[in-house]
Amino acid sequence: MEATATHGFAGLILIFVSAAFTDNVLLTRFLGMCSCLGVSKKVDTSIGLGAAVTFVTSVTTALNYLVYKFVLLPLDLDFLRFLTFIVIIAAFTQLVEMIIDRYSPSLYYALGIFLPLITVNCAILGISLFMVNKPYNFLEAFLFGAGGGFGWFLAITLIGGIREKINESMLPKGLEGPGITLIIIGIMSLAFIGFSGIIKV
Amino acid sequence: MEQLMVNILIATGFLAGMGLLLSALLVIAEKSILNFGPCTIDINNSEKILKVKGGGSLLSILARESIFIPSACGGRGSCAYCKVIVKNGGGPVSPVEEPYLSDEERKRNTRLSCQVKVRNDISIEIPREYFSVRKYRGKLISKRPLTHDIFELRIELLEPREITFTAGQYIQLKSKEYKGRESVIRAYSMSSVPSDKNHVELIIRRVPDGICTTWIFDYLEEGQNVGLSGPYGEFKLQPTDSPILFIAGGSGMAPIWSMLRDMREKGIKRKAHYFFGALTQKDLFFLDELRQLERELPDFKFIPSLSREPENSNWTGERGIITDVVKKYIPDTSGYEAYLCGSPGMIDACIKALTSTGMPVEKIYYDKFA
């Protein structure tokens, strides 16, 4: 779209929506697969992990934006972004885990146990890496991260819902667990291709 | 050239600086945020009360206090060995634990101790035998083959020097790292006699591609030090006078071998049969020793049975699968007690066969090797 669409309030919403739908990190880029296959058995746990991923992605994308813009680029250390981003993400999740462990036991039981799982979730690293390829400012980068995380949340919750329904019926032995999940994801990503023509950012 | 050097220095400096900064941050955070202050752990209705520093998992805090709950995965919540009953103060059941807890266990407040955090006063129930579990350092003094895939290990205990256990219990052996395989903990039944307090003997069958057994067979040598903990387990002879059926094949002989020799030492005169299932003659071991026991125990019979022995061989003993042989010798098993040791498949088949010939299921005691 033209400059008019990508600026102002409408532009911000567009960034969020396109990151969540047209560029859905799980369904169009197939990132964050391992934790998705493992945890999407139930809607409850899917929502928990999805929410944790959304939160961590939003904040770490913003943090990584700052580090990239004000440290890596000026020092000409662009090539270190992989290492830098993953270390920052890992440290951040550890820190958040400690904080909610101490101050909010109920939130810890809802989210906290997923935090170690997502320390190495490639979707989160992926979103930070896609972010540096786009000409975003700080707010836009944050919304891009939040949108990407929300897209992952949406996808894993939908998959969890479908798996809950499907487990009630009979499946061939070889398709149980990851097999049927991959087929579900495949069909869902076909559906998400439908979004790709709607917005371009 | 100089520019390149400067670049390399900046990159290294940046990485090192970032690493230091972040780890310092995390260490400070851990010290200040995760400080739950002093907590008490009440074990078995005040039988033992521990004053500890809160913050860690129940499993690790108990280990620091020298109470060792069995655990094979090291606290990652994947082996489900470390179950204890947490009466209160354990917080809600986490999703990591859920798949490992049955409805009945949940009703009794069973939890995985590696997933329960000690953040306030907590009261728990554990089997009393865990109090006597110790960590041992020992030296392998002999390793000899019993069959083509079964070895007997004899370990001398160095620190502490003595172990007190009941025949049938097991220890956990810790393997060392080799060729990129991590150190793991595996459970093995003791085959030694309880009166030999300074030694532990194990009978171990090689598992193809098994992390621990490959280490034992290919890397562990006589004279090397090993780490183990124990004793664990409820598999032991019940104090009754009922006649006994032992059923075990392969390395499942270990606890039975210990029980039989313990019976001889203590002069226990119960009637006993030992049914040993194997494939062919090359899978048999301790034949002479068991024949010797038949003579020394007042009423003991050893009955090996081979299921894959060639028809025309010189084998004169029983043939066929072990459950059929048991039925042939003892058509009515009511009144007997059974002690089984082996794979889950073998145990399930035996339980089915024994209950169909009149044995109540609560008279069947077993050790399942997963």
- For residue B19, the distance in angstroms to the closest alpha carbon of chain A comes to 8
B351 and B251 assigned to the same domain: yes
B157 and B200 assigned to the same domain: yes
The conformation of residue A185, written as its DSSP 8-state character, comes to H
CB-CB under 8 Å, B26 with A91: yes
For chain B, what is the domain count? 3
Of B15, B36, B91, the CB nearest to A83: B15
Q: What is the pLDDT of residues A48-99, one digit of tens each?
A: 888 888 999 999 999 999 999 999 999 888 888 899 999 999 999 888 888 8
Name the H helices within B34-160.
58-64, 103-107
In a domain, A116, yes or no: yes
Q: What is the pLDDT of residues B258-311, one digit of tens each?
A: 999 999 999 998 999 999 999 999 999 999 999 999 999 999 999 999 999 998
In a domain, B14, yes or no: no
In a domain, B306, yes or no: yes
Assess whether pLDDT exceeds 90 at residue B215: yes
CB-CB under 8 Å, B96 with A80: no
In a domain, A1, yes or no: no
Backbone dihedral angles phi then psi of residue B337, each to the nearest 5 degrees = -115, 140
In a domain, B10, yes or no: no
Q: How confident is the model at residue A201 (pLDDT cuts 50, 70, 90)?
A: low
In a domain, B23, yes or no: no
- Mean of per-residue pLDDT scores for chain B: 90
| B15 interaction partners in chain A (CB closer than 8 Å) | 80, 83-84
In a domain, B179, yes or no: yes
B196 and B291 assigned to the same domain: no
Q: What is the pLDDT of residues B124-141, one digit of tens each?
A: 999 888 888 888 999 999
- Among A82, A162, A181, A178, which Cα is nearest to A122's? A82
Does the structure's ipTM exceed the value 0.90? no
For chain A, what is the domain count? 1
Instruction: Please give the residue that has the higher pLDDT: either B184 or B300.
Output: B300
- Give the number of other CB atoms < 10 A from CB of residue B2: 6
The conformation of residue B291, written as its DSSP 8-state character, comes to H
Name the H helices within B142-277.
211-214, 253-266
CB-CB under 8 Å, A77 with B10: yes
| B6 interaction partners in chain A (CB closer than 8 Å) | none
Q: How confident is the model at residue A167 (pLDDT cuts 50, 70, 90)?
A: low
Assess whether pLDDT exceeds 90 at residue B245: yes
Of B7, B10, B19, the CB nearest to A87: B19
Q: What is the pLDDT of residues B311-357, one digit of tens each?
A: 888 998 999 999 999 999 999 998 999 999 988 888 889 999 999 99
Counts for chain B of helices (H) and strands (E), in that order: 8, 17
Q: For the CA atoms of A122, A126, A127, A129, what is the dihedral angle to 10 degrees?
A: 140
B252 and B210 assigned to the same domain: no
Give residue A143's domain range: 7-195
CB-CB under 8 Å, A109 with B94: yes
Assess whether pLDDT exceeds 80 at residue A110: no
- Among A84, A76, A113, which Cα is nearest to A96's? A113
- CA dist B297 to A163, B255, B291, Å? 60, 17, 10
| A94 interaction partners in chain B (CB closer than 8 Å) | 26
Of A76, A87, A98, the CB nearest to B30: A98
Tokens 């069973």 correspond to what residue? Answer: B110
Looking at chain B, which residue has its C-alpha nearest residue A71?
A: B14
A83 touches chain B (CB under 8 A): yes
Residues B163, B230: Cα–Cα separation, whole Å? 8
Q: What is the CATH number of the domain that holds B171?
A: 2.40.30.10
B120 and B140 assigned to the same domain: no
Q: What is the pLDDT of residues B29-75, one digit of tens each?
A: 888 887 788 899 999 988 889 999 888 889 989 988 888 888 877 77
In a domain, B90, yes or no: yes
Name the H helices within A68-177.
81-103, 105-110, 115-118, 122-132, 138-166
Residues B299, B311: Cα–Cα separation, whole Å? 31
Residues B245, B183: Cα–Cα separation, whole Å? 37
- Mean of per-residue pLDDT scores for chain A: 85
In a domain, A190, yes or no: yes
Q: What is the pLDDT of residue A138?
A: 92
- Give the number of other CB atoms < 10 A from CB of residue A11: 17
Assess whether pLDDT exceeds 50 at residue A4: no
CB-CB under 8 Å, B94 with A94: no
**Residues contacting A30, CB < 8 A, separation 6+:** A185, A189
Q: Which run of H or of E encompasses A59?
A: helix A43-67
In a domain, A200, yes or no: no
CB-CB under 8 Å, A105 with B14: no
A47 touches chain B (CB under 8 A): no
Cis amide linkage into residue B231, ω under 30° from 0: yes
Of A44, A45, A75, the CB nearest to B14: A75
| Percent above pLDDT 70 for chain B | 99
Q: What is the pLDDT of residue B285?
A: 94
Give residue B102's domain range: 38-130
Residues in chain A: 201
Residues B40, B123: Cα–Cα separation, whole Å? 8
